[in-house]
Structure formats: C-alpha cells, structure tokens
Structure 1
Amino acid sequence: MINSTSSYFIFSTYLPVGALRYLFFMLTAVIYMFILISNTSLIVVICMNRSLHEPMYVFLCSLFVNELYGSTGLFPFLLLQILSDVHTVSRPLCFLQIFCLYTYVNVEFCNLAVMSYDRYLAICCPLQYNTRMMWNKAVTFIIVLWVYSSVKCLVTLLLTIRLPLCGNVLNNLYCQNFLVVKLACSDTTVNNIYGLFGIFLTVLVPLLPILFSYTKILKVCFSGSKQTRQKAVSTCTPHLVSLLNFSFGCLFETLHSRFDVIKFPSELRILLSLYFLIIQPLLNPLMFGLQMSTIRNAWKLAAM
C-alpha cells in the first residue's frame, strides 16, 4: 500500500539494549563533548593567534568547522534515539539530516583536496607560495567548496523529496538518501543516475588535485634535500592519515548501502556505518593539533 502521506520514518537497526542504553548514551555524549571541545578550541587558537592567519591554517579552520557541522547533524539525533523506545524521525528532520551529513562529506573531501594543493605549493614552489596562495585566495577557495557542496546536496535532496513512498522503514541508525529513494513507489531512474553522478563528483573532483599534488611532492622529496623531505613528512602526514581514514569509511558506506556488496554481521555493520561520521571529527583535532608544532606552540601560549 502506498504510504506517501506518512509524516515520519522508522529506524529498524537499533538493537534492544535495555538498561545498557544509559551506558551507550554516556559514551556517545562524552565523544560528542570531546569533538565539540577539541575542534572549537583549535578554531579559537587559529582565530586568536595572528601568526596562524595563513592559508594553511585557514583551510584547517574550515576543516574543524566542518567537523562541528557534521557532528551536530548526527550526535544530538543519535543521543535522542538511544534514549527513546520508539525510533522514529519526522520527514522534515530526516531530510534536514540528509542535507547536513551529505554536505559534510562533500565539504570534507573538497577541503582535504584544497589542503593538498596548498601543501604542493608550500613544498614544491616555496618562493612563489606567498603570491600563488594568498589569504584572500584561500578564503575564496573555502567559499567555493562550501557553496559547491551545498548546491550539489540540495539537488540530491530536492530529487528525493518529490518521490511518493511505499513505506517508511529505514534500515539504518540515521537518515540516508539512498535508503529513502529505495522506498519510492515511482520511477527513480533520475535519482539513481544523479546519485551515481554525485558519487563520481564527490570522489573525482577532489581526487584530481590530490593525485596531482602528491605526485609533485613525491618527486621533490626523492630529488630534494633531507630538510625538504622532513618538511614534507611533517606537514603531509596528518593530511594523508585524515584523507585515508575518511576515504575508507566513505568507501565502505557507499559499497554497502548502494551496491550491497559487503556482508557483515549487523552489529559490525552498525559500527562501520558510523565510522566516518565519528572517527574523522575525533581524529582530525588530534592529528593536526598534536602533530603540527606551530599549533602546539600557539596552544601553549594561549593556555599560559
């Protein structure tokens, strides 16, 4: 029976944990608080310290803002669902979460791509860096990547909202666009084509500057001095770890939800579906905050 008038969705993946729900609630709340405090602290340190008002740190600030944005799209919702006996969400809130989480993913990849290009200029073209990557140019890059990601995800959402649905049960812990599309009673060819095209854009557009940048950086490292190699390792390691971690999480979620080619026990699938939304906001402040000496020193001065 067509259920296009249903005003809510039901999540079927939540396990009956009984009294353990309060333990899960506390663990989730602690993780969320750590993400809020760590990312906000680094944003404040970068904004308050004039020595950090450089393109590289402008991109980092955008990255930390995006971690707060994505986490806020997930954690408050997740905390409410953990405490609730009935795991439902209204249609408008579900679509809002889809927009937030999908924008977060796109901004993350684009931000990491711009950061790789910035590292390429700093390592391979150090004498031209200040003219080729100025502060106002960095701000323009950030505005473009946020607008591009928002428009791309808005089109995805508008294509989904128009669909009449034959059900309202989502096999997940949070709202996901493709799971809503699978409930449609009408033809979803346009959604599927744009969805695959969207995955292509999300991956290929950032991948090209990343591959270009690291190909050039590797060439310089092999032919350059020991000091150049040390500079490349110290500035690129946090970026590479962040990029590989996020790519792994997104790859698993895409393969499982859209193509259903990976079979895992339900408990493991639940954990992995949350991986890229939880570990990335936890990892980035630790990687960039602890590994980069300029941020560590600025943090020490701010704490004194």
Structure 2
Amino acid sequence: MDNITIAFKLSLDPFFIPAGARYPIFFFGLVIYLFCISCNMTLIGLIIMKRNLHKPMYFILFSLPLNDLIGITAMLPKVLSDILTDTSQVYYPLCVLQGFLLHMYGGGVLFILAAMAFDRYIAICFPLRYNSIMTPKVVVTVIAIVWGVDFVLILVLFSLQARLPWCRSKIMNVFCDNPSILKLTCSNTFLNNIIGLFNTALMQIISISVQVFSYVKILIACLVSRQNEARSKAINTCVAQLVIFFVFEIVGTFTILSHRFQNVSPDLQKIMGMLIFLVPPIMNPIVYGLNTQEIRSNLFRFHTKVFA
C-alpha cells in the first residue's frame, strides 16, 4: 500500500524563493486571486440579478467569467499553498485533473470569444431579425457547443495520455499541464504530440475564422451606418472583445516563446507559464465592464445603492 501511495505522488519543480520573501509573495498572490474572484463574481452576479442584462449577448458572456474562475482556481491556490507550506507534491489523479481544467480554460477562452463575436455580428448586421435569430434555443445551443466541443477535444487529449505508462515522478513546472505530464512517460509520445498540435490548431482556426468573419462584416456595417449612437455602441462592444482576445493571444505567445529560448531562467519560464491563467481572468471583467455601457451603468447603480 505504501508503494502504491508513493507511486501516485509526484513532485513539482518549485520556485527559488529568497529567505524572507515567502510570506510577501504568498500574500501578493492571495490578493491577486481574491481580486480576480471578486471581479468575475461581480460580473456573474450582475448578469444573474439584473433583468436588463437577461439578453442573448450577456447569457453568452456569462461563460467568460465562469471560465476565468475555472482557470485561475485550478492553478493559483495550489501554487500559493506550495509556496506557503514549502511543499511541492501532488497526487497523480489531482495532477491530471488540474491539467485537464487548465486546458479546458484555454480552449474555452477561444470558443467563448468566437461565440460572442458571432452574437455581435447578428446584432449589428441583422438588428431587426436579432431576436428571431438568437432565440433562447439558439443561445443554449451555442453555449452547449462551446463547452461541449472544448470538453471533447481536451478529453481526447488526456485519454490518449492515460494509456501511456510513466517512469518518472518529477513535474518540471509549478503546476500540471499536458506537456509536463507527458514528460513523465518513457514511451513514444508522437501520437499525443500530433493530437495536441491538432487540437491547438483547430481551436485557433475555428476561433480566429469566426471572429475575422464577424468583425469584418461588423466593420462594413458600421461604415455604411448613419446612426452614430448605434455605431459607437457596437464599436465599444467589439473593442472590448478584441482587447480580451489580443491579451490572451499575446500572453500565450510570450508563454510559448519563453520555453523556446535556452537562456531564459526556469523561474521566469514558470512565471510566464502562469501569466496566461492570471492576466486574462483579471483583465477580462475590467475591460468588459469599462467598455460595455449596460454593465458599467448597472455596476454604478449597484455601488450607489450599497454605499448610499
């Protein structure tokens, strides 16, 4: 029984933390986590409680802060716990679960943004038919496709990984992800790498194609529109979504590049790897709140009522 327990216990590669810096780093990370949780929960709460936000656009948007909460919660609490307790161990099933949720988060961002872009395309290019097209059934179908396709792609990726025997017990990162878990095996991972690249490419192609099509059509519609107020509102909404998309892509690119250069320190690589699960969940509710008039006005009225 002891041998089975040991076999299921993996060790993580911890940060190098100077003496006396452990508690400041922990509290700084805790503040970031609590700030992210409060911002995303506020956005979720507004969409649930405010009737004027019960629209297809905001029902689809609801998935974004929910996905952000999954991403940052799957990663940061474990890292902070290891920093505080000076431990760096994880059981194999929990390591796989963490990796699964983190990859679900990454794919979820791309698919949710594509769904939001499609919704804005219908709203701006077919305003008179919007309600007849984006019916509750269609909205539920879109949301189900977003989460369903994401889940299936990641499930296939991790199912292929489960068939491989592993001969190492060291995760060369501060959290578990598919590439790190694959390095535990001594078997041929060619198929896993191909499927991983295929999944990544498929997610990017679907998301970027839908968004490029939608925003090009929106741009054309805005250029020919004579209604300045409607055009301004449409542009503000689209700008918020584009900012969120580019932030995610830029942070993801830096994360990938940090692992391609040999002279980058291991601790910097780990920090860069964490940014994709930290920066978007912090920025998304702020960007959307500032650039979406209905959310901004509802939030202002809520704070006025609370602090009055």
- Aligned Cα root-mean-square deviation (Å): 2.0
User: Partner residue of 1:169?
Assistant: 170
Distance 1:83 1:235 in 2: 41
Could you tell me which residue of structure 1 aligns to residue 246 of structure 2? 244
Tell me how far 1:8 sits from its aligned partner.
Answer: 2.3
Q: Superposed, which structure 2 residues align to 1:225-264 within 5 Å?
A: 225=226, 227=228, 228-257=230-259, 260=260, 264=264
Aligned partners of 2:251 and 2:262: how far apart in 1? 13
For residues 88 and 17 of structure 1, what CA distance do their matches in structure 2 show? 20
Counterparts of 1:134 and 1:143, CA distance in 2: 14
In the alignment, the residues of structure 1 paired with residue 150 and residue 256 of structure 2 have an alpha-carbon distance, to the nearest angstrom, of 18
State the distance in 2 between where 1:142 and 1:17 align. Answer: 46
Instruction: Check the 8 A contact 2:248/2:276 in 1, yes or no.
Output: yes
Deviation at 1:68, TM superposition (A): 1.1
Q: How does 1:130-279 map to 2 (within 5 A)?
A: 130-225=131-226, 227=228, 228-257=230-259, 260=260, 264-279=264-279
In 2, the alpha carbon distance for the partners of 1:301 and 1:16 equals 44
Paired residues for 1:1-304 under 5 Å:
6-225=7-226, 227=228, 228-257=230-259, 260=260, 264-303=264-303, 304=305
Q: How far apart are 1:13 and its partner, in Å?
A: 4.5
Taking structure 2 as the reference length, the TM-score comes to: 0.91
**Structure 2 unaligned regions, length at least 5:** 1-5
Aligned AA for 1:285? P
Partners of 1:255 and 1:262 within 8 A in 2? no
Query: Does structure 1 conserve the Cα–Cα contact (< 8 Å) formed by 2:12 and 2:174?
Result: yes
- Structure 1 partner of 2:3: none
Shifted more, 294-303 versus 224-233: the winner is 224-233
CA distance change for structure 1 residues 10 and 156 in 2, over 3 Å: closer, same or farther? same
Residues 213 and 172 (structure 1 numbering): CA distance in 2 closer, same or farther, change over 3 Å? same
Deviations 1:37-70 (A, max 9, x none): 1111111111111111001111111111111111
Once residues 256 and 142 of structure 1 are traced to their aligned partners in structure 2, the CA distance between those partners, rounded to angstroms, is 33
Shifted more, 197-206 versus 133-142: the winner is: 133-142
Partner-residue secondary structure (3-state), 1:9: strand
Q: Is the 8 A contact 2:15 2:267 kept in 1?
A: no
Determine if contact 1:221/1:229 at 8 Å carries over to the other structure. Answer: yes
Q: TM-score, normalised by structure 1?
A: 0.92
Find the residue that maps to 2:185 and give its secondary structure.
Answer: coil
Which amino acid in structure 1 is aligned with residue 286 of structure 2?
L
Structure 2 distance, partners of 1:234, 1:83, is: 42
Q: 2:14, 2:88 within 8 Å by CA — same for their partners in 1? A: no
Specify the SS of the correspondent of 2:21: helix
Task: Using the TM superposition, name which of 220-229 and 288-297 deviates more.
Answer: 220-229
Tell me how far apart the structure 2 counterparts of residues 239 and 164 of structure 1 sit (CA, whole Å): 42
Return the alpha-carbon distance in structure 1 between the equivalents of residues 44 and 55 of structure 2: 13
Deviations, residues 199-224 of structure 1 (Å, cap 9, x unaligned): 11221121111111011112223333
Q: Give the Cα separation in 1 of the matches to 2:274 and 2:91.
A: 21
CA-CA distance at 1:298 after TM superposition? 1.6
How many residues of Structure 1 are paired with residues of Structure 2 in the alignment? 299
Unpaired runs of at least 5, structure 1: none
Residues 237 and 292, structure 2, Cα contact 8 Å, conserved in 1: yes
Answer whether contact 1:68 1:281 (CA < 8 A) is retained: yes
After superposition, the Cα gap between the structure-2 partners of 1:65 and 1:160, relative to the gap in structure 1 and judged at 3 Å, is same
Amino acid paired to 2:246: L
